[in-house]
Structure 1
Amino acid sequence: MKKTQLPKAHPMDSIMSQENNIRPNLTPAWLTPDYVEEKLCLYFKDDSLNLENLDIKPALGNGENYASVMTRINVEYTMKNTNRKESTRFLVKTTFADRDPAAKVLMDYGVYTREMDMYEQILPKLADLVRNELGDSRKLFACTVNVDRKRDSIMFEDLSLDRYRVADRLKKLDLEHTYLVLEKLANFHAAGAALAERQQGIFAKNFDRGFFNQHTRGYEPIMRNLLMALSRSLELEPVLRERYQAKIDRLVDNVMDYGERSTSIVPGDFVTLAHGDLWTTNVMFQYDDEGHPTNAIFIDFQFSAWNSPAIDLHYFFSTALQENIRLKNQPEFIQFYYYRLKDALKAVNYSGQVPSLFAFHQQFRNRAFYAAFASLIFEPSMSYNGKEEASMEQIMSSSEKGMRFKDDLYQSEEIRKKMHFTLPFLDQLGLLDIM
């Protein structure tokens, strides 16, 4: 392999600026010029490719991802047949370093092998189904440059080159964006159900481990620690403390049982491939010249699981939607999604039983604890915009630094204000009582 010279001050060797509120650089040491050049030769099917320059930068800011490392690489290269310098960008997604406590938790859930399976084996087939049988030619996911199972990494095309971008995770999604996501989600779920019928057993291995499952409780300390931080924050809100603190304290000991119960497959339910982690930064949008979203694609399939589509809906509603529509528009959103799903299942000749809208509402209600889990435990972390280092390690840690981060999560003015709406909403559904 040819050696490629880089500038001495390479970003890989630097620490990210604290002014930008970015986590310390976790770029893997193996992401070298020779490695990138080799993968690009395979991707472009041209051994004459010569990497002229490589610039490596972190792709995500503080609080934008807790389950992996995302790195953006800018490349300049030449090939014999063009005889000119080309430039483009890619994204590299990989595991946390072995020293990070998050790595052990995530490996127990099989998230890295699952996402590689998704990009190599599942997503191309789903894309064909959506394009050829549902007649939707819009992009469904990012094209893969390389899957490296030895290093638990995936190299993708950088969709920002096609003007895709992630919506603001703090402002969240309005009605127009929400309906577009629900339309694409219905197609995704219908294609997953059809693929499972046509290739029996394709989701039998390693698609049974969402955040709640019967195999591991690796997330339990994370969920307990965050609920305890929520309880501490209620000391600042006397009215909420009186009404809800005891219920939150009881939930600390029951969250895993309730979560596993909410994701247990019940005979007669419609089940399919669920995305599993559908929140704001895992959806990218493309816009027209007037600023209206024209397409939405899903990214980050680490927690995809064979389960009820209701878990995607609860999780999406609880983490990605603006507050004023999250609490008021859910029945309308479910109806919209349901009719799109029903039409898509018909188009792909799905032979299983499709529930009525009434039955699907019941299925959604039976999975409602997923809303409590997502809105009380994950959503505050997703909305974090403070100065503390945001990481799974800090959530798991009982150190002064870790406690300071967790308290900062829930004691922010925004989250305290939000709990005045979220806690009554969940409580009225019985989701904070003994279940």
Structure 2
Amino acid sequence: MPEENPHPVPSWLSKDYVQQKLSTYLKDESLRLEKWEISPAVPNGENYASVMTRINVEYTTQGSKKKLATSFLMKTTFAEKDPAFHVLVNYGVYSREMDMYQRILPKMADLVKKEIQDSRRLFAGSLNVNKETNSIIFEDLSLEHYKVACRLKKLDLEHSHLVLEKLASFHAAGAVLAEREPGIFTVNYDRGFYNRHTRGYQPVMTNLLKALSRSLNLDQELRQKYQAKINRLVDQVMVYGERSTTNHPGDFLTLTHGDLWTTNVMFQYDDKGHPTNAVFIDFQFSVWNSPAIDLHYFFSTSIHDELRLQNQPELVQFYYYKLKDALKKVNYSGHIPSLFDFQLQFRARAFYAVFASLMFEPLMLYNGKEMASLGQIISEGESGMRLKDDVFQQECVRKKLHLTLPYLEQWGLLDEM
């Protein structure tokens, strides 16, 4: 294992374990693992809720005269001693994602393929889901030439439209699945970043806001206009977040992705470089809620600034008609809101844009030298404070605040709510 990986290899991860899982997946008992290598699969700053490992293997079978090679990805939980584990454990993220891959996603993919009539991939298949080790082994979609877009450059209109189209199918499948199988999302699908059961993310949110406030001392204009509002928000962020994700009678609700940003989408391209499919990954925070939270989160973290600031109503409209069409194809019998009502629902969830753009987006843009992790964000030690200050003192973040803060203030999202 490379030295730079801060997470040790689990003791149960052995050559025999990998051989057994691969043999079962390929349905070939003659398979013998000749070589295997493991390495970190995700760079610093691109994953905060799990450990991702790439496993490269060479193997032989009785039916092959030469060695075969492949790779796959494995997701595991943080060790219990890791501070991130104690933030995440009460959210049920690990058991939820295993349930998604075992039980939910295959049904949703089948709905999308047969009824919405979209044969493209919806998610990466899993080789093995192991509840004893809290691990999932996935297909490596890079072998099919899927790749993640650059989190720093973000997505243009063509990529954004494709994501919204696939998201509409995902949401339609979730809504009709809940209709056909009542109670399927009752257990463990009620705990997104904000919820009424746990506030494990509170130190993450408040520490990031405090770092944002400190960074405003470097800009007199922003400090005078916004620092007092950011300081007041520190004490209210969880209250406002929970309020923004509370479901009300008449809301259109479905299974949301819950953590939809650039690195949780993989794209496949044609020969001319145009994206032809978008596949979602990382379903740890999938939650039963308004699809508006996925839209706010995606718009605030993953698309070009001019699209986010100038074209959101149009993008919501584009998504809405894709959703409406998909719901009709799956014969959804629930109430489909009008575009006007859906825009109101989107507006009612707008605080999600505050947390996504002021707290999470700066982290997503971080490209510095400090080790970025939940433990460091929570920590008030020297290295933790250095990371958080470095995040908000990036030149790109400081420039974006001159756009983002006025935009949020115009909607009343920085005032008392």
Given that 1:213 and 1:260 are in contact with CA atoms closer than 8 Å, whether structure 2 keeps it comes out as yes
In 2, Cα distance between the equivalents of 1:26 and 1:187? 38
Given that 2:258 and 2:283 are in contact with CA atoms closer than 8 Å, whether structure 1 keeps it comes out as yes
1:188-207 paired onto structure 2 within 5 Å = 188-207=170-189
Stretches of structure 1 lacking an aligned partner (at least 5 in a row): 1-11, 17-22
1:140-151 paired onto structure 2 within 5 Å = 140-151=122-133
In 1, Cα distance between the equivalents of 2:276 and 2:8? 34
Stretches of structure 2 lacking an aligned partner (at least 5 in a row): none
Matched, 1:126 2:105: no
Given that 1:15 and 1:25 are in contact with CA atoms closer than 8 Å, whether structure 2 keeps it comes out as no
Partner of 1:359: 341
In 2, Cα distance between the equivalents of 1:303 and 1:45? 32
Which of 371, 379, 384 is the matching residue for 1:397? 379
Deviation digits for residues 94-126 of structure 1 (CA, Å, limit 9, x no counterpart): 111222100111111000000000000000000
In 2, Cα distance between the equivalents of 1:33 and 1:414? 44
Q: Structure 2 counterpart of 1:68, which letter?
A: S
Partner of 1:15: 3
1:26 shift after superposition: 4.0
Partner of 1:288: 270
In 2, Cα distance between the equivalents of 1:28 and 1:409? 31
TM-score, length-scaled by structure 2? 0.99
Partner of 1:45: 27
Partner of 2:323: 341
Which of 57, 65, 68 is the matching residue for 2:39? 57
1:233-272 paired onto structure 2 within 5 Å = 233-272=215-254
In 1, Cα distance between the equivalents of 2:322 and 2:396? 34
Partner of 1:103: 85
Partner of 1:425: 407
Partner SS state of residue 327, structure 1: helix
In 1, Cα distance between the equivalents of 2:117 and 2:9? 40
Partner SS state of residue 177, structure 2: helix
In 2, Cα distance between the equivalents of 1:206 and 1:99? 24
Partner SS state of residue 205, structure 2: helix
1:83 shift after superposition: 3.5
Change (3 A) 1:26 1:319: farther
Change (3 A) 1:98 1:276: same
Partner of 2:99: 117
Matched, 1:412 2:394: yes
Deviation digits for residues 257-295 of structure 1 (CA, Å, limit 9, x no counterpart): 000000000100000000000000000000001100000
Deviation digits for residues 231-270 of structure 1 (CA, Å, limit 9, x no counterpart): 0000001000000000000000000000000000010000
Partner of 1:372: 354
Given that 2:7 and 2:51 are in contact with CA atoms closer than 8 Å, whether structure 1 keeps it comes out as no
Matched, 1:227 2:215: no
Q: Structure 2 counterpart of 1:111, which letter?
A: V
Partner of 2:193: 211
Which of 255, 261, 267 is the matching residue for 1:273? 255
Change (3 A) 1:61 1:26: farther
Partner of 2:143: 161
Given that 1:115 and 1:300 are in contact with CA atoms closer than 8 Å, whether structure 2 keeps it comes out as yes
In 2, Cα distance between the equivalents of 1:424 and 1:311? 21
- How many residues are matched? 417
Deviation digits for residues 315-346 of structure 1 (CA, Å, limit 9, x no counterpart): 00001011121111100000000000000000
In 2, Cα distance between the equivalents of 1:139 and 1:79? 28
1:27 shift after superposition: 3.5
Q: Percent identity?
A: 68
Q: Structure 2 counterpart of 1:102, which letter?
A: A
Partner SS state of residue 360, structure 1: helix
Partner of 1:19: none
Given that 1:27 and 1:58 are in contact with CA atoms closer than 8 Å, whether structure 2 keeps it comes out as no
TM-score, length-scaled by structure 1? 0.95
Partner of 1:68: 50
Partner of 2:284: 302
Partner SS state of residue 310, structure 2: coil
In 1, Cα distance between the equivalents of 2:29 and 2:272? 42
1:404 shift after superposition: 0.3
In 2, Cα distance between the equivalents of 1:198 and 1:228? 45
Given that 2:266 and 2:280 are in contact with CA atoms closer than 8 Å, whether structure 1 keeps it comes out as yes
In 2, Cα distance between the equivalents of 1:132 and 1:359? 29
1:56 shift after superposition: 0.6
1:84 shift after superposition: 2.5
Given that 2:194 and 2:241 are in contact with CA atoms closer than 8 Å, whether structure 1 keeps it comes out as yes
1:22-33 paired onto structure 2 within 5 Å = 24-33=6-15
1:194 shift after superposition: 0.6
After superposition, the CA RMSD in angstroms is 0.8
